[in-house]
Amino acid sequence: MMADSELTRHLRSVLPSEAHKALISSVLPTLIDSISDISKILKRSQHVSRAGSANAFGDDQLNVDVLAENSIRKAISQCPFVVTASSEEDPIERSSQDISTGSVPEEHYTIAFDPLDGSSIIAPNWTVGTIIGIWQGKTALNQLPATKQVAAVLGVYGPRTTAIVTLRLPGFDPVCLELGVGEKGVEDTEIIRTAVRLVEPPFKTRYFAPANLRSAAEDAKYMTLVSDFIQKKYTLRYSGGLVPDVVHALVKGHGIYISPVTAASKAKLRRLYELFPLALIVESAGGKAINPADGTNILDTPLGDLNETAGLVCGTAEEVDLVKKALLA
């Protein structure tokens, strides 16, 4: 277990769960430390270049992708309660510990992560992030995300390094925090907000982030929806980075992120490494996250394969319902 920090003390006070002590005292602090480390790596990486390799999805890897992946792998290898891990860069569930010499702890977790989401916009120095889902047990496969994914973390690398942390444990109300991540990791990390919540209407300002916008040329319903947002004077907040665009809504208290799928514009978002953690965070903040193809909740369908992809609509519940009606009518 790590030494007490402001984060662990707060989480223990609101989630006095004996069944998840290690999650609060070891797993989450380890991940916050890795986010701090990645932040320092990015500040040192003045040259962003191709690493000469591609991940399993065929995407070219950048040098910073590899460095971020290695940072998280190293961190969780030193946390005995994380027994399995997979990532967007290496989508195979592998043991993260040498368990040949000892038994698996009674409390143990699987980590599924995207080490550096939005690396394609990092060269112009735009905000990017890390996405992490924490699952109870030894695998995320064929498990119900709504119950087995018990926590998620979004690391945000911009002018500041921040993180959104969500825990949804059985028997407790969801907890969703915003953190300011320190140079020393969890040791000097501060809680910015103890409750991240999307607000109820009426809204002072309405925000929209239309991803995969080129598909509007193929989908009349999406084109009509985007035009409707413009006519109603919604404020556009779209950077091309999934993490900063969703976090913008969480910070402002309102927003809708839309990434539809058409025959010509295939789904690119990975269910395990991107959609599940984001959906858990958005739901914990009082919002909704659905699959635009059929309107089902993202967390209601188990994962059959680590490589599965889908579209995404997430954000303020009222806006998600309106988009669902517009795209599926």
**CATH classification at residue 28:** 3.30.540.10
Question: 251 with 188, same domain?
Answer: no
Residue 265, pLDDT score: 82
35: phi then psi, degrees, rounded to nearest 5: -65, -40
Q: Are residues 146 and 112 in the same domain?
A: yes
**Domain span at residue 237?**
207-328
Q: What CATH number did the domain enclosing 300 receive?
A: 3.40.190.80
Query: Would the pLDDT of 53 be above 60?
Result: no
Query: pLDDT (tens digit, 9 = 90+) per residue, 237-292?
Result: 999 999 999 999 999 999 999 999 988 888 889 999 999 999 999 999 999 999 99
| Average pLDDT over the chain, rounded to an integer | 93
Report the pLDDT averaged over residues 26-31. 98
Identify whether residues 225 and 172 lie together within a single domain: no
- Is pLDDT above 80 for 161? yes
* 160, 193, 226 - which closes a domain: 193
- Per the CB < 8 A criterion, the answer to whether 249 and 255 are in contact is yes
**Gap between the terminal Cα atoms of the chain:** 52
Query: 217 and 292: one domain?
Result: yes
**199 lies in some domain:** no
Ramachandran angles phi, psi of 282, nearest 5°: -65, -45
